[in-house]
Amino acid sequence: MILAKLAYCLLLVGLVFFFLLFKDTLSLILLLCIFLLPGFSWLWLRIAGSRLRIRLLCPSGTLPAGEQIELQLFLQNPCILPIPHAVFRIRYRNKLAQQDETILVSTGLPARSSQTIGLQLLPEYCGCLRAEITQIRLYDMLRMFRIRISAPPAQELWIMPHIWPMQPVSGQVLSQDSENETFSQYRSGDDPSEVFGLRDYHPGDRLNRIHWKLSEKNTGLIVKEFSLPIGQAAVLFAEWKQSPLPMQHALLESLISVSVAFSESEHPHNLCWFDPPGERLVTVPVSDASIYEGIRRLMSTPTHTLSSTLHCIDPDRSISHLIYFTAGVQPEQLVQLEQLHADRITVISVNADEEDAACFQRTAAAFPQLELCPVSPGCVGAALREVIL
């Protein structure tokens, strides 16, 4: 811009001398045109910029971490005047990582046209990704002036952790004090208190399962399938404390993978964590539709600096299966876990490196009643395949 203004001033001075030398109509008209040109260029830019329409479009739905996504910058210039040059500064930030990255987009906008510019992003970690246009600068055709216009609202999209396959959930998640049992809608079992369905007889079926009254009305034997009871919900407790981003990402991958494994086996379970602002325990009952909602709520919760938040669990509460997720477990946390009334306790600890993993293994030897599973960032899938739920 400075060079353009300097060149214009030199041109204007030269035309002034040209007019003083010749003093004719042509030199006067040329001088006036060059003199008024910057004002016309500025007015042109103002009119075209005021009608410019800008939108930042983000993909919808669940977006996994580690896969490329595309943001779209939509630009429409309905004015009959083109915009020679425009620069857009776009910033996107992972709220979990607290890191900013900036993209600069430079383009021209022809008259009465629209265009969509794709921006490729590759989020390495999960979290809430906030994308916004922080600055819009429009330049006139002489590059002497620039104006800034307001940006559209910021957009947010959720990057979800990867779901790793796990062993099928075996057994039933039951508790000794469970009173009201629910039954699976998709699988049969051995509980005769409720009939799951009826089917034709197959060789090997037990005789006590034959429905004799219906069999008399049909040409073949009809067999009753009993229901599969589903007992008290398991508890997936996440220790959402401050830790390096790779460890937080590995913890969330472990949490969502275990939750999906429970959901696929129709075992009810709850996601729990400590909410520092409210100083309370948050419990989210999980179904197929609410897995991602629970993970989003957890990622939106501020991390804490406490070594453990197990104190917020009622010590008199009876739990069928407690799965405790933490980044770097400490011996005092394992002592607290032993004091809870849980039929089974599984500890999934995310370790920073091999040294921490070896330390975790030595600590685990002193707590044989706990089921301990070390997880390292980058090797979550291999570690979770060894977990038995």
Q: Is CATH 2.60.40.10 the classification given to domain 1-160?
A: yes
**Residue 229 predicted with pLDDT over 60:** no
pLDDT given at position 332: 82
**Beta strand 269-275 pairing with 234-238:** parallel
pLDDT above 70: percentage of residues in the chain: 89
Q: How far apart are CA 94 and CA 63, in angstroms?
A: 13
Output phi, psi for 355, to 5 deg: -65, -45
pLDDT given at position 53: 94
**Residue pLDDT, tens place only, 183-227:** 555 456 666 666 767 778 778 777 777 777 777 777 778 777 766
**Residue 306 predicted with pLDDT over 80:** no
- 234-384: CATH number: 3.40.50
User: Which ranges in the chain are annotated with CATH 2.60.40.10?
Assistant: 1-160
Report yes or no: 356 and 327 within 8 Å, Cβ to Cβ. Answer: no
Q: How far apart are CA 191 and CA 208, in angstroms?
A: 13
CA 102 to the chain's CA centroid: 20
Q: What tokens does 375 get?
A: 């997880």
At residue 335, the 3 state secondary structure works out as helix
Instruction: Pick 9 or 272 by higher pLDDT.
Output: 272
CA 146 to the chain's CA centroid: 38
**Residue pLDDT, tens place only, 51-89:** 999 999 988 777 888 888 899 999 999 999 899 999 999
Amino acid identity of 94?
N
Please state the pTM of the whole predicted model: 0.74
Kindly report the average pLDDT of the chain as a whole number.
82
pLDDT given at position 182: 55
pLDDT given at position 228: 55
pLDDT given at position 258: 92
User: Which ranges in the chain are annotated with CATH 3.40.50?
Assistant: 234-384
* Of residues 269, 201, 196, 206, the one with CA closest to residue 228: 196
* Of residues 340, 321, 342, 337, the one with CA closest to residue 230: 321
